Structure 1
């Protein structure tokens, strides 16, 4: 059975995140999209970072930016989704050790400000919009935030998900 992206339940907002790295010395980048139960885009972010990060660290940074963006939008109930299983496991386990411990601890602290939150691992094909936003930022080396509308470069993917 093919897994596909699904809207969150009523009252919740789904925050999909992804990171992109390159081996050519260019900066890493992230993509975030937040949607409601009607599959409407609340906000989207594609952002080039100020350096090149390992893949796992980049995905944790993407998660951090997604959580901070949801907080900035004053959302109360969020469902986080990423294709980085180890990040999901580390956050749920309360892992604060290692190179990423400080980032995970900051994310965890911020999540405590929401009335409810969940985090879920999903396959990359269910996280295509966040992936493409990260790729866009990697190619353009820019930061773009769209509130209330999907960036034109991913609108076709969002339509495909609705099919």
Structure 2
């Protein structure tokens, strides 16, 4: 009995530690980190989408800017939906979408809506995930989601959306490396 309790505590501790840093997906999968940012002062929202493969290599990066007043829950859900749209367009069939918005992740995973303001977006996500061979959603603390968070913050200042496919800005690669600090010394 004591060994089982110790194993559960160790497993819980390991899971919590993993939620605090970026971890690579299993081989063959693409992990897509998402985040949203809101500027009430400039009435803008920004979203950051960062897909990486199992080696940590950046596959794409996208910053989305909109001139609107959004809520945190809505913008986080929209970022997840945008990640699914990106993955579908890229032809990726095995994905894990990771967000630092625990409520949105929980609602997606439970297939139930607690916040009616995002019901339509969650329905879209439910339909889109059926397009993939494997599609998982997970939570990570902001400390493990720095790259997409920084991109979302920068997206607020954009005039139009921006996307990188093969070559990435040095600052973005530096932040991606920092996200991976305990996983790999270098990506790309």
TM-score range, shorter chain: over 0.9
Query: Which residue number corresponds to residue 129 of structure 2?
Result: 111
Q: How many pairs does the alignment contain?
A: 163
8 Å CA contact 1:29–1:49 kept in 2: the answer is yes
- Higher Cα Rg, which structure: 2
8 Å CA contact 2:52–2:60 kept in 1: the answer is yes
Stretch of structure 1 that moved more, 148-157 or 135-144 = 148-157
RMSD of aligned residue pairs (Cα, Å): 1.6
Query: Shift of the alpha carbon at 1:50?
Result: 3.5
What is the TM-score when the length of structure 1 is the normalising length?
0.93
What SS class does the counterpart of residue 160 from structure 1 fall into? helix
Gaps in structure 1 of 5+ consecutive residues:
none
- After TM superposition, what 4+ stretches of structure 1 lie above 6 angstroms from structure 2? none
Alignment of 1:61-140 (within 5 A): 61-96=78-113, 98-140=116-158
- CA-to-aligned-CA distance 1:70-124 (integer Å, 9 cap, x gap): 1110000001100000001111121257121111000110010100111111100
Query: Shift of the alpha carbon at 1:7?
Result: 1.3
What is the TM-score when the length of structure 2 is the normalising length?
0.81
Distance 2:172 2:99 in 1: 17
Higher helix share: 2
